[in-house]
Chain A
Amino acid sequence: MSTMEKFCPTTEVLAGWLQGSLDPQQRGQLTSHLAACDECRRALAIASSIEAPPAVPLNEILLSRVVAASRPRRVLPFAAAAAAVLAAAVGFSLTRHATQPPAPSVAVDRAPAVEAPAVKPVPKPEDPRSAGPVPTPPKPVVEAPKPVVVEQPKTSEKPVAVEKPVERPTVVAPPEVVEKPIVKSTPPPVKAPVDVLTLAPVFVIDPVGDLWLKRDEAEAKAVSLEKAAYKDKFSTRNGTAAFTLEARTSVMLEKNSEVAFWHQKTDDVYSLALDQGLVMLDTEGSSQKWQISFGNTKLDYNNLNGRLAVESRGDRMSALLLDGTAELKIGSMAKKALVGQEFVLSREGAVVEQKVETQKKLARLDELRPKVFTAFASTFDEKSEDFQPYPYAVVSGKRALGPSGFYLQADFAAAPKGEKSVLSSEIHLDRAFGVVSGMVIKFRYRSSLPGFSVKIGNYSVDFASRVRAGQWGDGEIPLGAFSFEGTPMLPTDPVENVRFTGSTTQKNGQLDIDGVQFLRRVK
């Protein structure tokens, strides 16, 4: 016969013990009771082993279930263990929910307005803690400002980092018998700029190599045209990767790199938040504003026109202008960036070291770069309501639907008898770009005309059709072949529009264009 059931304390009292809210007298009585009562000790041990949600009071219902499950132990000896496992699982689940980012600031609340659509979620590896034996309760992390990532056992090739909120609420100190979990300090997460409404997602084009896009807790391999918000992270694992950012910058990532990008529309500033690894940027001949951040370190590169390598080295970051020009600003210091001069900064933003480094990295990084740089691309299937990496407008001609999607059909302007009728279509690029040496225009065409003209601004070229009427063919013309009254198109000349025109003496004619691209192949 047991007298324990009569005098055992209520679940509220047990909860108070765990929370430390009992007065000294109650605590003394319960201490005496626990010395004699196996069931209550067991109940407390189980309850305290649950990783409690730190911000909320201990779940008394849950506790009472655990107590209830532990007490009839003699009758059902395995029931308590099963309940404990269940409770641990539920408790862990609650903990996970509680550790999701708390109500974000007003600015962050507005973030979805610019957030990209979710990537296809990758099945999350099963949490080993929910399936294993009763876990040891983790000691809460007390370094409040530093978010932590709990290192998880590798259960698949796609580890999912559990991102903790920046502000951790106060937690109840569990009994001292528990062991500290293994925690790994990692760089702070990407800090959102104050007004996220000014941020636009960036377009990632033609990724090659081992490039992954991490969004929330899902991760997927980057596809040919990806849109990424400021909270998304790009990472590489066992291999290098490269892609074109917004058709303006080539980005190369060394293996095991992690980085986030965003674009501030108002000032036309691109931001790179480096977590780890090595990233190289190539502005492909244009001048751009870039802000590089690593922890609290921030570097501003104004008029960056060239190649920049940024690398994390533990708690430090190195920035090296490989070639080209830029104006560099670190804190209050502003100066011209010199090619080959490397700045090493601490995570707090202090310049630790300045040195002139040889360009030994250059060749290795050059191998990573995309082999094709796309300055503009249009399939005419783009939906106007979507964000477009290459926004444009159809000035003349019309989008017509064919078996494989839309294409651009030239307008036919019939002429009086004896004169030639004209077919023409034109697109206007919302974002002009400058010609770079080696750039070509590619397009698909279908025409009944023996030839037609392609015109960019004042510059034009005659193109002879090489396909039969009614068949689609591919055309490619180097921009150096475009001329205006005897002078060729030159590097830096703006490309703002493309016009296709042809003429015929027939009563009708055909000039259809599809897949217009401006490319530069890197040798």
Chain B
Amino acid sequence: MTVAAGTLISILAFWASPQDDKTFLPAIKKFREEYYKVGAKDDDKIAAVNYLAQHRHERIVAELTPLLTEASLPVRMITARMLSQFTQVEAAPRELLNGLKAQANSGKKQSCVRIEILRALGNLRYKPAASEVAKMVEDREVWVAKAAIDACGRIRTAEAIDPLLKALRRIEGSMGDSEVYPLDEILEGVSRGSLLKPDPNQKRPTERDVLKQPILSALNAITKQSFPVSKDWDTWWSKNKATFRVAD
């Protein structure tokens, strides 16, 4: 009896599944052949991901999702970048958000993956990701924080305003004086000391230089208000917080 019921459910599930699934099977087959072939290098894998991402469908998202956490860093980044183009596919931002929260992408070396995912979520304007993205506005990695700030400005939810104002207050203080390096030692095999040997006398941009304008832009995108410093923003926000609604 149980077997019969299971069979029936399987048949119904088969009928109910979108027929489009089948149209992607050849592409998925080819992708798997190229991606998982013996000796495939990152270049080959990236080419395979680019090929498969030409087809934008839930089934393709399912195929690419594991790569966000299991592949090498360049492949994870390319996968996130490709998924950011899946505007009409609901599963894409959902899986990107899962990738952002995944333990596999939480380390310092995975900062570049988090940045790509944050950019992708911003591109897709995925509101369910707003709280997770807002948390990262205060990330220790400056460039992760920058990506999160940019994403907040694109996603446009009220819950991002408090973290953005907090970050603005922080960088307006002395904590905003710390210098920022373009690489910030997040790239594998490349360090600023070994390659770039920057001029010690040359002044590097500070966190304030890097983050202040993006925060102001993001706040403006969400609230349609424009103030130059955190004090003015605090004043406005304290008066409007209770009734504020993000304009369409």
Contact = CB atoms under 8 A, between A and B. Distances in A.
A47 to B, nearest CB: 69
Interface string B113-141: 00110000000000000000000000001
Nearest to B190: A481
Interface stretch (B167-175, B197-205, B224-232): B197-205
A490 B80 CA distance: 13
Contacts of A325: 30, 34
Contact of A450 (B41, B74, B183, B202): B202
A328 B78 CA distance: 28
A152 interface: no
Contact of B198 (A451, A477, A488): A451
B90 interface: no
B212 interface: no
Nearest to B48: A325
Contact of B189 (A285, A463, A480, A483): A480
Interface stretch (B8-16, B96-104, B142-150, B154-162): B142-150
Interface in A465-511: 477-478, 480-481, 483, 485-488, 490-492
B189 to A, nearest CB: 7
Given A460-B182, A463-B196, A464-B198, A488 B187 contact: yes
A451 B192 CA distance: 14
Nearest to B141: A486
A485 B43 CA distance: 22
Contacts of B143: 485-487
Contact of A486 (B46, B47, B146, B201): B146
B182 A462 contact: yes
Interface residues of A, number: 26
A502 to B, nearest CB: 10
A305 interface: yes
Given A483-B183, A485-B143, A477 B201 contact: no
Nearest to B191: A481
Given A285-B47, A492-B47, A483 B196 contact: no
B47 A480 contact: no
Interface in B46-76: 46-47, 50, 74
Contact of B187 (A451, A483, A491): A483
Given A451-B202, A461-B182, A483-B182, A305 B47 contact: yes
Contact of B77 (A460, A461, A464, A487): A487
Contacts of B144: 486
B74 A491 contact: yes
Interface in A411-458: 436-437, 450-451
A61 to B, nearest CB: 70
B243 to A, nearest CB: 35
B60 to A, nearest CB: 18
A460 B181 CA distance: 12
A462 B201 contact: no
Contacts of B30: 325, 336
Nearest to B192: A462
Contacts of B91: none
B199 A464 contact: yes
Contact of B116 (A285, A463, A487, A492): A487
B187 A480 contact: yes
B51 to A, nearest CB: 8
A492 B197 contact: no
B183 A481 contact: yes
Interface string A329-353: 0000000100100000000000000
B3 interface: no
B146 A485 contact: yes
B214 to A, nearest CB: 10
A480 B189 CA distance: 9
A490 B189 contact: no
Contacts of A492: 43, 46-47, 50, 78
Contacts of A305: 47
A487 B111 CA distance: 8
A487 B143 CA distance: 8
Contacts of B190: 478, 480-481, 488
The 3 closest A-B pairs by CB, nearest first: A486-B143, A450-B199, A464-B197
14 contacts: A339-B37, A450-B201, A461-B196, A481-B195, A486-B115, A486-B143, A486-B146, A486-B147, A487-B116, A488-B183, A490-B46, A490-B78, A491-B42, A491-B47
